Chain A
Amino acid sequence: MARITLDPITRIEGHLRIDVEINGDRVIDAWASAQMWRGIETILKGRPPEDAWSFTQRFCGVCTTVHAIASIRSVEHALNVEVPLNAQYIRNMMIAQHSVQDHIVHFYHLSALDWVDIVSALKADPKKTAQIAQSISEWPGNSEKEFKAVQEKLKSFVSTGRLGIFASGYWGHPAMKLPPEVNLMATAHYLTALDYQRKASQAVAILGGKNPHIQNLVVGGVATALNTENVATINMERLAFLRTLMEESRAFVQNVYYPDVVAIASAYKEWFGYGAGVTNYLAVPEFPEDTKGTQFALNGGVLFDANPATFRVIKDHRDEYLIKNINENVDRAWYRGEESLHPWEGETKPAYSDFQENGKYSWCKAPRLEGKPVQVGPPAQILASYLSGNEKVKKLVDGTCKQVGIGLKDLHSTMGRLAARAIRAHLMADLSLEYLDKLIANVAKGDTDYANHTEIPVGDYRGVGFHEAPRGTLSHWLVIKDKKIHNYQAVVPSTWNASPRDGKGQLGPYEASLKGNPVAQHDKPLEVLRTIHSFDPCIACAVHAIDPEGKEITRVKAL
């Protein structure tokens, strides 16, 4: 029996510690511990509800836009406000483009190096690399010249001992098995990917007035002035630029990112057999397409034990089953209180007591649905839409399964999460352009409304803002008393997934997903990183003080 502590797990926002117990070469138990207190909700108490969205954008380091959306929806839900079509379309485009950016960065920069051996790319034949790349995609950048240039650059960095960002990789690890040519292809795309995440980011900036930290939300709509003739507003020229940006990032997602995931998944097929973990899923419907929020492009639903017979549709964001059945448990988390509390009654009272394997060990609360742990994220959204009979999703998922040679049940896995994310990115890129067309058509019809002006009334109100973010279902829970925020709780995707054990001893999704994982080398637990990174962990505290003294930052302790 051996014990490995990874602290912190790198390539994420915030501090996450993972402990695994190993018997031979298999993980038999795991603990996920958030190492930082997120008491940010307390800042919101007493503030005007209409301002909450601009504060909540700073909750997390990466997903600024998603918290703004969930927050504004929580106020709109509390006050029963309709949102004009133009505002829905503009918000939908921001949501979709933010997802495109997020998924590109997640795959290439936050997880690909768990599968791609950069150092091995030095041995590749650029000509063969180009042949392989051209056989899977018509991307014009897949030329011998391009691959050779990347390899030269890589060589010059390695020869001066400056591998920089790549220095901490597990190069030459026995679990790395791509041929040098595929490693070179992925390395080149890793560098190019930055140009396309930028395009998606620029699109969000055009729509949101600023990115990061969009500026254009108001309760009841958006503040974006729409005037196709006026240069100072979203006019035809801005819309044309937006289209170009969205088409370019779509081309990258569909001709590079998606085929790369298919290629890597096909080479590591055994990883569809590891990392399933908690197979209860939750997704909320996303991309409202009417003012009342009753029609959505992608479906929501709940699924237990990977069993399609248990599938329950979540029709809209007012779903009573969902609103009533979410609780957060703190039995094993560093907070005071014993009961599981509903988010509207949620408390945030820190009580730190060191890492206690059999007691409290995380700053992360344990959200539960009907008292059960639940996995959120792209697989949940893809499964919910698939099981709801969404034609577009079915076609994409079936196509991916056929190409890789897997079945739907294989999505419950480490590699399944990467594949579901690539499928989702594909959908997001398409939907962005659909909403651009819908916006233009709606404005052309003469509808120029973009906000329902809303004053916060005196009285007591409760609301919840649901949003299906890149990492999964996000909800902001708000209690308003006399025009001020009385309570505010954010139940974020990573608290669902990174949750510790609860009062009943049920493991959270990260923890459960590690059980049964192989670990070839105890001092280089690459396989643990693969599974944890597949969730796109982001534990949302976003403290990032720079440490020039060179304190040991990542510690792998094999006992």
Chain B
Amino acid sequence: MRTLIFGAGNLLLSDEGFGVHAIRYLEEHYDLPEEVELFDGGTLGIMVTHKLEEAERIYVLDVVDAAGEPGKLYRFEKEEIMLDRLPLKMSPHQIGIQEVLFLTEMRGTCPERVSLIGVIPGSLEAGCELTPPLQGRVAQVAEMVADELRADGLEVRRKAHNGD
């Protein structure tokens, strides 16, 4: 099964880049099997629809604009995203990840399993670094995804030389 781990966000706007930081962390610290692809999707939304369509299982890592302390984690599954259990417009863009998923569903190409793991940002100011509460979440989210890949029967190992 092809699994896509899609890191969304803008690296230049501090916590907005959380998804991309998480992808980079996974790249650096884990050995992943070939059927798992790490994808730095930036903020392209509809321009990268095809990446979502190529996979059978997707994890979207992103920030969420929700109530709570910076660093709080949210998780949504496909059902919640697609069946209007979440309000339609999750993104301030007309066409964000959620809309793209609707579009792929209409095309009959939406993957069976979609999970969105989101974290509440502390700052969206210009800057390349995450704020401390989000820095602490990167390894946690990575390990969470790694655990689930293992539960799916995939061989996922932490790299020995980056054992922090």
Closest to B101 in A: A164
Q: Point out the residue from A64, A105, A109 that lies within 8 Å of B42, measured CB to CB.
A: A64
Closest to A163 in B: B102
Measured between beta carbons, the chain B residues less than 8 angstroms from A547 are 64-66, 87, 89-92
Q: Is the CB of B88 within 8 A of A546?
A: no
Q: Is the CB of A213 within 8 A of B64?
A: no
Measured between beta carbons, the chain B residues less than 8 angstroms from A58 are 10-12, 42
Q: Is the CB of A201 within 8 A of B99?
A: no
User: B25 near A: Cβ within 8 Å?
Assistant: no
Interface residues on B, range: 35 or more
Q: Is the CB of A110 within 8 A of B95?
A: yes
Measured between beta carbons, the chain A residues less than 8 angstroms from B45 are 61-62, 544
Q: Is the CB of B92 within 8 A of A553?
A: yes
A544 to B100, CA, bound (A): 14
> Do A550 and B86 form a contact, CB below 8 Å, given A42-B126, A64-B42, A153-B106?
yes
A549 to B50, CA, bound (A): 28
Measured between beta carbons, the chain B residues less than 8 angstroms from A12 are 93-94
User: B144 near A: Cβ within 8 Å?
Assistant: no
Chain A: interface secondary structure? loop
User: A167 near B: Cβ within 8 Å?
Assistant: yes
> Do A545 and B64 form a contact, CB below 8 Å, given A13-B43, A165-B95, A201-B48?
yes
Measured between beta carbons, the chain B residues less than 8 angstroms from A352 are none
Q: Is the CB of A544 within 8 A of B91?
A: yes
A153 to B106, CA, bound (A): 7
User: B46 near A: Cβ within 8 Å?
Assistant: yes
Closest beta carbon of chain B to A205's beta carbon, Å: 10
Closest to A56 in B: B12
User: A392 near B: Cβ within 8 Å?
Assistant: no
- Of listed B82, B97, B103, B118, residue having the most chain A CB within 10 A: B103
Residue contacts A-B, CB under 8 angstroms, 21 given: A11-B95, A40-B12, A40-B126, A58-B42, A61-B44, A162-B102, A164-B99, A191-B107, A201-B50, A212-B42, A212-B47, A212-B48, A213-B40, A543-B10, A543-B92, A544-B8, A545-B124, A546-B63, A547-B92, A551-B65, A554-B89
Interface residues of A (CB under 8 A from B): 8, 10-13, 15, 37, 39-40, 42-43, 55, 58-59, 61-62, 64, 101-102, 105, 109-110, 153-154, 157, 161-162, 164-165, 167-168, 191, 194-195, 197-198, 201-202, 212-213, 541-551, 553-554
Beyond the given A61-B42, A549-B66, A550-B87, please list 7 additional residue pairs across the A-B interface where CB-CB is below 8 A.
A40-B126, A58-B42, A162-B84, A164-B105, A541-B13, A547-B66, A548-B86
